[in-house]
């Protein structure tokens, strides 16, 4: 079961509010998806994710292939039962990790030979293998296997990778057979707008029910990212969801939504949370700093998360200084709540017809205090 319906659209920017129906529930878009790399969102339980408002989470195909293995997950009843998360799940293709984490040996038209980052063992992944793994994992949304190019790159190599991505997308589409799972194609083309536009049109000819925008947030500037989104916005099908992969910095979310993006994910809020960096509407702050030793205010006095309702900056700083696990949990909880609810606030603003003013106010406030100490 899969359906996408637009509820509202901002006439000034093209920001969209929609309803995405999957086998495990309806998702209100735009949406931020916490990343559960190894069948867990780091430092969080499924019940806590529900409490902070998460609607859909990610599982990582590469990591789950490496351990515990897709057969074990399938025997457990799939990812939903394995991790006790009974809401929608999206699994990535494994392509980004194969190219960024693994000690890669060879890319060919048939697939990629690589070494495990865990033990150096050799593996070969074809587009069909990525699909098979994701079908065993059993997520609601799977992604076609693609080649993600590191930046900077040349137009020639970017085109070679884009052509390979399109060929692999067709193979994934033809191989995919699980009826309760939807397969998305991925738009590649690095920072070359003409390649990106060509790629989305050729993927449309194959016929996917949604499209990821891959290969961004991998070293390019924010301006370069926005230029690609500007080029793609009028070219992407309006009746299908658009997923900007691996992007989660607050200003990128706001500017992505302003350019018609419906779905986002990123490890940033959990990674930063474990290191004491907290997100607020008025910038980032480092809770490890001594200046918070006697600060008995919440992380953000406008935030309704569990951490902000019950604890102070001074207490959370004490936990970090003392090496207590709870410090990482509380800061992670706050960051996820902040992003999940930032995107929900944008949805309400789109429906209410006030997204442009919301965008201006958020960008002014966040950028003014973006480097709080």
Q: Could you say which of 81, 92, 103, 140 is catalytic?
A: 92
Q: What distance in Å separates the CA atoms of residue 267 and residue 270, rounded to the nearest whole number?
A: 6
Q: Give 248's contacts (C-beta < 8 A, 6+ positions apart).
A: 32, 264, 265, 266, 267, 268, 269, 339
Q: What distance in Å separates the CA atoms of residue 89 and residue 320, rounded to the nearest whole number?
A: 31
Q: What distance in Å separates the CA atoms of residue 147 and residue 117, rounded to the nearest whole number?
A: 18
Phi, psi dihedrals of residue 229, rounded to the nearest 5°: -65, -40
Residue 300 annotated in active site: no
Q: Could you say which of 129, 132, 140, 265 is catalytic?
A: 265
Which residue has tokens 């992007």?
A: 247
Structure tokens at 336: 């996820």
Q: How many CB atoms lie within 10 A of CB 44?
A: 21
Q: What distance in Å separates the CA atoms of residue 71 and residue 41, rounded to the nearest whole number?
A: 21
Residue 103 annotated in active site: no
Q: What distance in Å separates the CA atoms of residue 147 and residue 151, rounded to the nearest whole number?
A: 13
Nearest partner of 34 among 210, 342, 248, judged by Cα: 248
Report the relative pairing of strands 57-59 and 31-36 from DSSP bridges.
parallel
End-to-end CA distance of the chain: give it in Å, rounded: 47
Structure tokens at 134: 């994701």
Report the relative pairing of strands 31-36 and 182-187 from DSSP bridges.
unpaired
Q: Indicate which residues carry an active-site annotation.
A: 92, 265
């Amino acid at each position: 079961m899969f359906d996408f319906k637009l509820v509202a659209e901002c006439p000034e920017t093209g920001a969209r509010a929609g309803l995405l129906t999957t086998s495990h529930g309806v998702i209100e878009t735009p949406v931020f998806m916490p990343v559960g790399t190894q069948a867990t969102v780091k430092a969080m339980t499924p019940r806590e994710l529900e409490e902070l408002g998460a609607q859909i989470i990610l599982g990582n195909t590469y990591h789950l292939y490496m351990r515990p293995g897709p057969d074990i997950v399938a025997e457990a009843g799939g990812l939903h039962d394995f991790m006790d998360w009974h809401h929608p799940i999206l699994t990535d293709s494994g392509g980004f990790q194969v190219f960024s984490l693994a000690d890669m040996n060879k890319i060919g038209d048939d697939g990629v030979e690589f070494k495990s980052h865990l033990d150096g063992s050799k593996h070969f992944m074809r587009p069909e293998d990525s699909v098979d793994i994701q079908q065993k994992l059993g997520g609601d949304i799977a992604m076609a296997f693609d080649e993600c190019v590191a930046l900077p790159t040349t137009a020639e190599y970017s085109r070679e990778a884009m052509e390979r991505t399109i060929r692999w997308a067709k193979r994934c589409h033809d191989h995919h057979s699980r009826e309760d799972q939807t397969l998305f194609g991925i738009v590649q083309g690095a920072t070359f707008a003409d390649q990106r536009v060509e790629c989305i049109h050729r993927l449309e000819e194959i016929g996917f029910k949604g499209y990821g925008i891959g290969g961004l947030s991998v070293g390019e500037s924010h301006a370069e990212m926005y230029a690609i989104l500007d080029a793609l916005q009028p070219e992407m099908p309006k009746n299908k969801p658009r997923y900007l992969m691996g992007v989660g910095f607050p200003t990128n979310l706001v500017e992505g939504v302003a350019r018609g993006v419906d779905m986002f994910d990123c490890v940033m809020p959990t990674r930063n949370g474990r290191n004491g960096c907290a997100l607020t509407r008025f910038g980032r702050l480092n809770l490890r700093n001594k200046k918070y030793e006697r600060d008995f205010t919440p992380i953000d006095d406008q935030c309704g998360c569990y951490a902000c309702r019950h604890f102070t900056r001074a207490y959370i700083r004490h936990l970090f200084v003392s090496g207590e696990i709870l410090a990482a949990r509380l800061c992670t909880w706050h960051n996820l709540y902040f992003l999940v609810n930032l995107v929900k606030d944008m949805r309400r603003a789109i429906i209410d017809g006030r997204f442009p003013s919301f965008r201006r106010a958020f960008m002014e406030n966040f950028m003014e205090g973006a480097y709080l100490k």
